[in-house]
Structure 1
Amino acid sequence: MSDVPEITPERVDAAVADALAAAADAPDTAALKKARSAHQGDGSALAALNAQMRHVPKDRKAEFGKIVGQARGRVAQAFQAREETLKSAEDAARLEAERLDITAIPQRTRTGARHPVALMQERIADLFVGMGWEIADGPELEHEWFNFDSLNLDEDHPARQEQDTFFVDPPERHLVMRTQTSPVQMRTMLERDVPIYILSPGKVARTDEFDATHLPVFTQAEGLVVDKGITMAHLKGALDHVAKQLFGDAAETRLRINHFPFTEPSAEFDLWHPTFSGGARWIEWGGCGMVNPNVLRAAGIDPEVYSGFAFGIGIERALMFRSDVQDMRDMAEGDVRFSEQFGMVV
């Protein structure tokens, strides 16, 4: 009994004053919550005075009950008002911190650039458009018939093995990731009437290593001409024109006998690179030849009336020759610092 404070107006006023001061001094809602627990909780001075009401004589309970009740009400109102003030200020501060000026010009800390492989592909495409050719496109996920059978590659050809080609499940659908853009040429011959003059650039996939000179996914540009009277001379003239446009007037090409199932006769063609960083030299660039009569027949074109030539060049390889890129992996890893060297900033 002696540890319980006796109810007096002075003690009630003192407890109220302490509570009001604590509420006013709270800098934020977290501090206010602690102050409220100290001055309104079960262990607070007002709670202790309220507990003493049981010892007040009956004839004075109403008097002291009113004093304590009013005191507790004043404290509750003070804490409520302070909480609303602090919460409003905190909400305003948070909104200000998160405010975005949607009218402001965004500050770019770093600019990007068109990818150099895409730029080289467009440059080569523009050369052939300037010659009056058309650009043709086709699916990267291709049926085996378009990718192999129609191009005179029989079932035992090494290119049709899993160590060279990405086959797509389920096997009964006979789908592959195209290993060349030649299927676009077959689709074009099936869909269009001759004469045909097209370039088919695009991504192709082979199970190559990812190293300085090989990529499992790379970019090709393949040309096809089908018309009356087409000869190897027309092929050589087209290749020389592209070489000179890309590498200067001193550039030229030469043909070396080779074998490809979809052309006959077939050749590898080399580029004489006059400004190569290690000195002018011949560099292997691609494959070419006259369209095999079997390929023309598969497309419904009479090889006794029409002939044609086809060739394929690697876009990444052309970029290496033109811009002295030493490592193909730089073209595939997406580092903007590599692309920035080639201009076309966006």
Structure 2
Amino acid sequence: MIIKLFDSSGNFSILWLPVYFYNESYNFSLYVSIFELLLYLCCFHIVNVNIYVILKVKLFHRNLYILAIPLFSLWYELIISKIITICYRLNVIKLDYAIGEHIVIWTDDPAKMLELKSLDGLELLIIAGFMQWHYMYSVVFGVLAIAAERAFASVLIENYESNTQLFIPALLTMTYQISAILVSLSVLFHKIKSTTSHIPWIVCCSISALVYLFVKKVNESFNRDIKNPNRKRIFTVSQQFQVKENLRALRLGTRLVIAVLASIALCGSGIAALTFEFIPTYYSHFIENFIFLNPYLVCFTAMFSVPQWEKQFKKMFLTYRIIKKRRRKPQLASVGTIDNTKKNLDVETNLYFKQLADSWI
């Protein structure tokens, strides 16, 4: 959605929001929104269980958890932005004008833009647009941060496993979040061109791929040395564990990257098809939700890529509760029952000692 905002002198500025509005009847939009919310509710449960399992079954270094958990948690931000958009679609948040249909990701055609002289009433929608951009670029920069952390784990193998300092994940988190916020604001207020907005993910994916190859080569070399009985280098237990952890992280990361790229490819192909009018506009609901429903693919891929996580995930998926049921209060025995029990114990005790005494006769 492109908003063209005019000022009093006739100049204009552009706001670029990754939100979509459709030319549909109210009833149809209502039914679609209810169905989407039900799917998002299932996603909410999946993400909750996913994070719970990762925190419960700890298989990786703490630094990796500090970087990875927020990336999964960012889905909450994404879905809040979608709920805000739904409120505008269903006129829960009322405006004095009709927003109209906006189903293209970018356009230079003024007829497909929303031309306004004031943003009154659209503040929440602009925030929702920023949240979606922030989610997308956080994932892009976050993947690079995780790749960098694994590179540190490979280079600093001598003492990385026993290192409890948090400056590495803290620095990486601050760096990728500041980058994501700055780029998101630049894209939202169209300070960079639409073609330029693709540069961050292209650069990050390229660097991440190179780091992946570096980490893979280094740790496979370490693993061969560990298995070699004639090796000259001595690997401590923590170093051997770190090598195995890096290789596990690579296997998991490979599958997750494939899952994320599949979601992006499906969404990108659909947006391109809509832009060039290769498919009807009602398919845009499916295309849009490739991003919002990504936990179905990403979270299941993560859980079923690690046997320990898979076992716990299957156990918790249908039984997990955010609010635990209250435990039943223990039933208090009556005084009469206690007295009878005590008498029975006394009788049994006396009988035992009597039999013991008789046995010595």
Q: Which has the higher strand share?
A: 1
Higher relative contact order (CA 8 A, sep 6+): 2
Q: Please give the TM-score of this superposition, normalised by the length of structure 1.
A: 0.20
TM-score (norm 2): 0.19
Q: Which has the larger radius of gyration?
A: 1
